[in-house]
Amino acid sequence: MTKPGLYESTGRKLFLRTMRESLSRRIMKAYETSLEKETRNGQTPGSPTKPQSYRERRNHINDELLASIEREGLGWTGVWRKRDENGPGGVGVTGYRFGRPRIGHVHDDGHADFRFPREVRDELIRSGRAIPHPAFPNSRTTASYRIGSVEDLPGALELFRMNYERRKERNGPRER
């Protein structure tokens, strides 16, 4: 008499095997479908030179721009960063903090957000140095700045620096 197979011995194990096979079939089907789409678009499957869609290009900040902001901001005493891959709307966010308070953050779609006192925020928007937050334009304290090219870096860094100086003055020097 032969011993029953691992999955045939109980109904539960048989169910688990069936679920795994079903999941594997679905994953393979999704992969095949993506290959078909690439081939229909004139690309060879898995091509590293596959052109990005407009939405993909528009929704990601250039890595060099983010590195420049990071290099400058992390050079200030007491500033550290925290990366969140699953930020609002599924867009990654890199936040910069001075001690505990956040001095600002940059979304992967290329806009930076800052919190200022209401009067400062309103003046920054009035003078054109910042824009209202895209998702919360009626916010009393949040201002944004669009970073699309190297020419936009000085304006963004100025806002980071303003908030850094304000936090430093308010909270005293910090080391991390």
pLDDT given for residue 38 in this prediction: 54
Do 70 and 36 share a domain, yes or no? no
pLDDT at 6 over 50: no
Neighbouring CB atoms inside 10 A of 46's CB total 9
Do 29 and 114 share a domain, yes or no? no
> d(Cα 55, Cα 44) in Å, to the nearest integer?
21
Is residue 23 assigned to a domain? yes
Do 36 and 65 share a domain, yes or no? no
CATH code of 94's domain: 3.90.1150
Do 74 and 22 share a domain, yes or no? no
Do 63 and 37 share a domain, yes or no? no
Is residue 33 assigned to a domain? yes
pLDDT given for residue 101 in this prediction: 85
> Residue 111 — very low, low, confident or very high, per pLDDT cuts 50/70/90?
confident
Kindly report the average pLDDT of the chain as a whole number: 75
Q: What is the pLDDT of residues 124-140, one digit of tens each?
A: 999 999 999 988 889 99
Is residue 176 assigned to a domain? no
pLDDT given for residue 125 in this prediction: 95
**How buried is 138 (Cβ within 10 angstroms: 0-12 exposed, 13-18 middle, 19+ buried)?**
exposed
Q: What is the pLDDT of residues 45-99, one digit of tens each?
A: 444 444 444 444 444 567 888 888 999 999 999 999 998 876 666 678 899 999 8
Domains: count for the chain = 2
pLDDT given for residue 53 in this prediction: 46
> d(Cα 155, Cα 22) in Å, to the nearest integer?
53
Domain that holds residue 32: 1-45
> d(Cα 62, Cα 67) in Å, to the nearest integer?
9
Q: Provide the strand spans (E) within the chain.
A: 79-84, 93-98, 102-107, 111-115, 131-132, 142-146
Do 71 and 25 share a domain, yes or no? no
Higher-confidence position of 111 and 17: 111
> Residue 34 — very low, low, confident or very high, per pLDDT cuts 50/70/90?
low
Q: What angle do CA 34, 40, 44 make, to 5 degrees?
A: 75
Do 74 and 150 share a domain, yes or no? yes
Is residue 21 assigned to a domain? yes
pLDDT given for residue 18 in this prediction: 53
pTM above 0.85, yes or no: no
Do 9 and 87 share a domain, yes or no? no
